[in-house]
């Protein structure tokens, strides 16, 4: 790679672009406001210092972002570089520059993935925005996650195991055609030469089970042949063979020489379970009524001041990672890039008292979101006549708890539970047995409490009380705008389905989506475009003024 200077825009390109776009375009306005955005030096580590000169990586990075701004395919993006005046202006190219072959974009993405460099595009835009005063420090930020479908098609169980076997056979047919011709059974050509379709399998459950056993037996025979001393050892390293091995371990077992399907309870947890042979990092998950195979993306954006709402962090995980597991990683990533807010507005899935305490202590960030109510029946009873934990008085120094009936606890013990410590408290059976208000307190012979450490316990109860106030609800309203951002990412950039297979490439797609939305928002800010408003249906418009709509959302900017 031979670095090129960030370069002036050729005078002829400027003259023609200004004549053809008297009001400018997104690409022209962004170039005028933010400059070239990326330099070749920023991507020099992705290329060998010797060899054929590469097309300018700084310009390729901008093409990737513009591609997502406009939802273009690689061919369309390469054609835009060759044919569009505003693209040539943004990239600082001469009008007669022939551009590049569309395959260059795919090669460049592979280099970005290998170097885990997808965030550089997002950071380049944020850095330019900060220099121009479009990104202020600290303030408020909001976050949410959404599901992302794998690029591979969804498969029923029979399709999944049949396709896994077919994929391994295809890979072996390339790696060792003579060997496979010898070991393949005649029936395999009939069953696995073409794509498995559910419509071709029998409908009756008993017959489907029989087909499943036949596929399991065939797969086991192939694995036995691949691992036999007579087989070339290199075949064991073929990725599709490894996928077949993992899939068979997860779905079949040998009982008295017969290959049988495992009971669903006997399979590995969702975080390890393969869902398709064509994307081995995709995982299945469920959130409320939504079931999907693939990934999850978490977006954090600025909000609440006069600058455009910009996405400051994009994190992609497999579908099984819970939201609250991501909080420390998101805060660490924001801290490293000097993008931490004062207050981080999130939904219930991200908030625990432990995370609130950690965010304050480690990052001076107030993590704000509604806490889940307590799980005991005393919390659910909905009556002021029951005694949840909050009704007890805790003396942390003396390690004693006083109950609403005026009795002191008889046991206080710290016990390790997984990665934390819990405090177990209990009262005397004698006191509780004779208690006049026992029915409001416990259904057992005595009351027992489980507490967290003092700082966590106090945050938990303060927050549960605070979130009932109108002031807190008014402050929290701002979080809903991030759902408009997710809608924008889905509709404008195709966030809902991964374009590529594997976590690393899906993550790059999401970083580019974040960068593209930021460019679109900066452009909307420059042109003074009004924020999109939540559409109100004709029926909703008839509602009485004092009646709020459940689940109403604030729309983010387009």
Nearer to ligand SF4, 172 or 441 (CB): 441
Q: Tell me which stretch binds ligand SF4 (CB under 6 A): 66-74, 365-373, 427-435, 457-465.
A: 427-435
Site string for ligand SF4, 435-454 (x = CB under 6 A): x-xx--xx----x-------
Nearer to ligand SF4, 80 or 425 (CB): 425
Tokens 């889905």: give the residue.
490
Q: What is the DSSP string of 416-443?
A: EETTEEEEEEE--HHHHHT-TTGGGT-S
Q: Binders of ligand SF4 among 105-164, rule CB under 6 A? A: none
Q: Is 431 in the site for ligand SF4 (CB under 6 A)?
A: yes
**Which residue from 320, 272, 329 is spatially nearest to 296, judged by alpha carbons?**
320
Nearer to ligand SF4, 386 or 485 (CB): 386
Q: What six digits make up the tokens of 86?
A: 């505003």
Residues in contact with 351: Cβ distance below 8 Å, sequence separation at least 6, in sequence order: 324, 367, 368, 369, 370, 371
Nearer to ligand SF4, 89 or 387 (CB): 387
**Which residue from 145, 228, 144, 225 is spatially nearest to 184, judged by alpha carbons?**
225
Nearer to ligand SF4, 252 or 427 (CB): 427
Q: What is the CA radius of gyration of the chain?
A: 30
**Which residue from 125, 469, 554, 534 is spatially nearest to 312, judged by alpha carbons?**
125
Q: In angstroms, rounded to a whole number, what is the distance separating the alpha carbons of residues 393 and 189?
A: 74
- As beta bridge partners, residue 450 has 424
As measured in angstroms, the least distance from the Cβ of 425 to ligand SF4 is 10
As measured in angstroms, the least distance from the Cβ of 487 to ligand SF4 is 49
Size of the site for ligand SF4 (CB under 6 A): 13
Q: Binders of ligand SF4 among 314-353, rule CB under 6 A? A: none
- What is the helix (H) or strand (E) element at residue 313, kind and residue range? strand 311-318
Site string for ligand SF4, 386-415 (x = CB under 6 A): -----------------xxx-x--------
Q: What is the DSSP string of 433-484?
A: HT-TTGGGT-SSSS-EEEE--HHHHHHHHHHHHHTTSHHHHHHHGGGGGHHH
Nearer to ligand SF4, 298 or 447 (CB): 447
Site string for ligand SF4, 348-387 (x = CB under 6 A): ----------------------------------------
Q: In angstroms, rounded to a whole number, what is the distance separating the alpha carbons of residues 411 and 524?
A: 62
- What is the helix (H) or strand (E) element at residue 115, kind and residue range? none
Q: Tell me which stretch binds ligand SF4 (CB under 6 A): 41-49, 114-122, 359-367, 434-442.
A: 434-442
- As beta bridge partners, residue 343 has 140, 366
Q: Is 425 in the site for ligand SF4 (CB under 6 A)?
A: no
Nearer to ligand SF4, 232 or 445 (CB): 445
The full length of the chain comes to: 558
As measured in angstroms, the least distance from the Cβ of 444 to ligand SF4 is 9
Q: In angstroms, rounded to a whole number, what is the distance separating the alpha carbons of residues 358 and 353?
A: 9
As measured in angstroms, the least distance from the Cβ of 400 to ligand SF4 is 13
**For binding to ligand SF4 (CB under 6 A), which residues are involved?**
403-405, 407, 427, 431-432, 435, 437-438, 441-442, 447
């Amino acid at each position: 790679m031979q670095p090129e200077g960030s370069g002036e825009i050729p005078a002829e390109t400027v003259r023609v672009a200004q004549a053809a776009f008297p009001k400018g375009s997104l690409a022209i306005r962004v170039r005028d406001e933010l400059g070239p955005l990326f330099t070749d030096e920023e991507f020099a580590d992705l290329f060998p210092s010797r060899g054929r000169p590469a097309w300018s990586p700084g310009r390729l990075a901008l093409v990737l972002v513009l591609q997502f701004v406009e939802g273009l395919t690689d061919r369309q993006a390469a054609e835009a570089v060759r044919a569009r005046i505003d693209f040539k202006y943004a990239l600082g190219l001469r009008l007669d520059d022939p551009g590049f072959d569309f395959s260059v974009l795919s090669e460049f993405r592979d280099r970005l993935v290998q170097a885990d460099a997808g965030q550089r595009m997002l950071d380049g835009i944020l850095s330019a925005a900060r220099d121009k005063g479009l990104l202020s420090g600290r303030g408020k930020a909001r976050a949410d996650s959404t599901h992302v479908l794998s690029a591979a098609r969804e498969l029923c169980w029979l399709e999944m195991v049949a396709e896994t076997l077919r994929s391994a056979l295809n890979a072996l047919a390339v790696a060792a055609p003579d060997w496979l011709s010898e070991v393949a059974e005649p029936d395999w050509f009939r069953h696995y030469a073409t794509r498995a379709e559910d419509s071709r399998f029998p409908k009756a459950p008993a017959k489907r089970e029989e087909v499943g056993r036949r596929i399991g037996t065939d797969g086991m025979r192939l694995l036995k042949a691949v691992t036999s001393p007579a087989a070339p050892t290199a075949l064991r390293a073929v990725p599709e063979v490894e996928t077949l091995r993992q899939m068979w371990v997860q779905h079949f077992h040998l009982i008295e020489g017969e290959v049988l399907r495992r009971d669903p309870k006997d399979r590995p947890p969702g975080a390890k379970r393969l869902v398709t042979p064509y994307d081995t990092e995709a995982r299945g998950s469920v959130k409320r009524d939504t079931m999907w195979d693939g990934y999850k993306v978490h977006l954090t954006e600025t909000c609440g001041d006069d600058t455009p709402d910009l996405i400051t962090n994009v994190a992609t995980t497999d579908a099984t990672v819970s939201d609250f597991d991501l909080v420390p990683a998101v805060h660490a990533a924001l801290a490293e890039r000097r993008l931490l807010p004062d207050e981080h507005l999130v939904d219930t899935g991200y908030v625990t008292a432990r995370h609130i305490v950690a965010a304050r202590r480690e990052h001076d960030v107030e993590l704000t979101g509604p806490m889940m109510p307590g799980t005991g029946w005393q919390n659910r009873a909905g009556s002021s006549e029951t005694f949840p934990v909050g009704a007890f008085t805790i003396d942390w120094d003396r390690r004693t708890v006083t109950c609403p009936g005026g009795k002191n606890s008889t046991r206080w013990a710290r016990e390790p539970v997984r990665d934390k410590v819990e405090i177990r408290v209990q009262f005397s059976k004698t006191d509780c047995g004779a208690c006049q208000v026992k029915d409001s307190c416990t259904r057992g012979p005595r009351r027992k409490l489980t507490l967290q450490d003092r700082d966590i316990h106090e945050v938990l109860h303060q927050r549960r009380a605070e979130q009932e106030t109108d002031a807190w609800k008014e402050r929290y309203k701002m979080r809903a705008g991030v759902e408009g951002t997710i809608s924008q990412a889905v509709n404008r950039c195709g966030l809902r389905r991964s374009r590529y297979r594997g976590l690393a490439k899906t993550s790059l797609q999401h970083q580019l989506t974040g960068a593209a939305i930021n460019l679109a928002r900066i452009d909307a800010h420059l042109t003074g475009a009004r924020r999109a408003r939540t559409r109100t249906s004709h029926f909703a418009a008839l509602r009485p003024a004092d009646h709020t709509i459940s689940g109403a959302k604030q729309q983010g900017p387009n």
